[in-house]
Amino acid sequence: MPADSDALREDIKARYGEAARAVSTGEASGCGSGSCCASVDDDATKFGEALYDAEQRAGLPTGAATASLGCGNPTAVAELREGETVLDLGSGGGIDVLLSARRVGPTGVVYGLDMTEEMLALAQRNKAEAGATNVHFLRGEIEEIPLPAESVDVVISNCVINLSTDKGQVLREIARVLRPGGRVGVSDVVAEDRLSPEERAERGAWVGCIAGALSVSEYVTGLEAAGLAEVEVAFTHEVADGMHGSIVRAVKPESMRGELPLAGAGVTDACC
């Protein structure tokens, strides 16, 4: 973990709280001059609601789409099925939760987890406006998911894991809550292996989803160390030199039934 992990966490909460307030009051979209995961000079098509097509946005509360701050569209790659239980890590204003709720139908359940009170309040309003009855928003941190072991079929996330200051713990928690045979389908910013942590930091801030991003090999190693298999990392679009919006997939083997990932395994302090 970085030495200033507590300060970074507070910066992240403050920035995303500000984004939620801006959307709620109609003052601006996202973080004002751009999405939270982007600088003012970034192309807006690389982050946020532009990554969802018009058909997906149709029927969603305006606040859910406007508050989208991610780098991808995890619901488009997670292959959700009717009746499944889904967990969205860092659910923000709830766009991916509400889209997932459509896919899993009334017999399925979708949980959205976020640590920012303002985002949770916005998400609850969007849930009510959408009339979603199979959705539950939880307050908590992705390093300590408030759900039982083996309770979730699919874990999704949209440009949030890169913000964590303890990614190894996040990956272990994902493995813990997944049922055997369950799967991961997340969007995240991922660095090319050629970039050192220092070079990533030169390309953008941690709160801007750049400096804290894992490399491809670090992501693969971390997921495998957590016990997950069939790991894939695929770049979708470049967001900075050597940094890419990416799709990350993995599966929890049936053989892991009842087993918990080893604490301390996976991503090292040096890289994250």
Q: How many domains does the chain have?
A: 1
Percent with pLDDT over 70 in the chain: 77
Residue 34 sits in which domain range?
Answer: 5-256
Structural domain contains residue 241? yes
Distance (Å, rounded) from C-alpha 128 to C-alpha 36? Answer: 25
Q: Does 19 fall in a domain?
A: yes
pTM comes to 0.84
Q: Buried b vs exposed e over 110-132: b needs ≥16 C-beta within 10 Å?
A: bbbbbbbebbbbbbebbbeebeb
Residue 188 lies in a domain: yes
Is residue 140 one of the residues assigned to a domain?
A: yes
**98, part of any domain:** yes
Whether residue 199 is contained in a domain is answered as: yes
Structure-model confidence comparison of residues 107 and 55, the more confident one: 107
Q: What is the CATH number of the domain that holds 151?
A: 3.40.50.150
Q: pLDDT of 165-212, one tens digit each?
A: 999 999 999 999 999 999 999 999 999 999 999 999 999 988 888 989
Residue 132 lies in a domain: yes
Please report whether residue 262 resides in a domain: no
- Between 4 and 37, the more confident residue is 4
